[in-house]
Amino acid sequence: MEVCSLARNLCFSLFSTHKQFQSGTGSSGKRGMVENLKRYGVISSKRVAQVMEALDRGLFVPVGSSAYVDTPVPIGYNATISAPHMHATCLQLLEDKLHPGMRALDVGSGTGYLTGCFALMVGAEGRVVGVDHIPELVDMSIKNIEKSVAASFLKKGSLSLHVGDGRKGWQEFAPYDAIHVGAAASEIPQPLLDQLKPGGRMVIPLGTYFQELKVIDKNEDGSIKVHTETSVRYVPLTSRVEQLGGF
């Protein structure tokens, strides 16, 4: 859940271009959103483009919001749903760990959009877990997914959403091939490293005021390699009480 994203000039350029889609609904809005992200070079993966077009972002934002504009959208509880280009960026960074049958964890799952994208990518034979510490957002995300093309995964049990402290991960279905963290941590939570499968990848924003999107690869011997993808601006990864109190 980012406040504003990396590459602000790109974000603002896409925002201006996407104004024409503010009133778009269903297939026209999501198709236009994806086409613009492709045009600006944000999406290069055919598979990511297909998933983001299949799962209607309009089902995952509050009524009256500009679902297809490239900007974060407030969802209540001092949280946001990230801008489409950030979702695309994270999906592409994790794509090789989101093949059918693989397992993914989405920390700070919010309204459930990215969690649903993961489910479409790993399929019914995979396992996707979303965790958020705001019960109302978890309830909202379940309802959103039930209205979407990802509903069957929720019904069959290969996709689940839980109330919990995402900093602790979700041990029940670990280890995970892919872990996405949608809020900025001051340091990498050890439970998430422990639950990352050898050969797996985590994408997590790190930092306080100055933040960077880090890509963490766990080698087969358990050692990790970290590289910086870009600068970002996310809400803090914190407790429920601190988040509801405005950090």
Angle at 140 between CA 135 and CA 146, to 5 degrees: 130
Determine contact, residues 151/174, Cβ cutoff 8 Å: no
Distance CA 137, CA 216 (A): 27
Instruction: Single out the catalytic residue among 5, 66, 82, 148.
Output: 82
Catalytic annotation on 82? yes
Compute the CA torsion angle 12, 13, 18, 19 (nearest 10 deg).
70
Half-sphere exposure of 146 (CA within 13 A, CB side): 8
Q: Any idea which residues carry the catalytic annotation?
A: 82
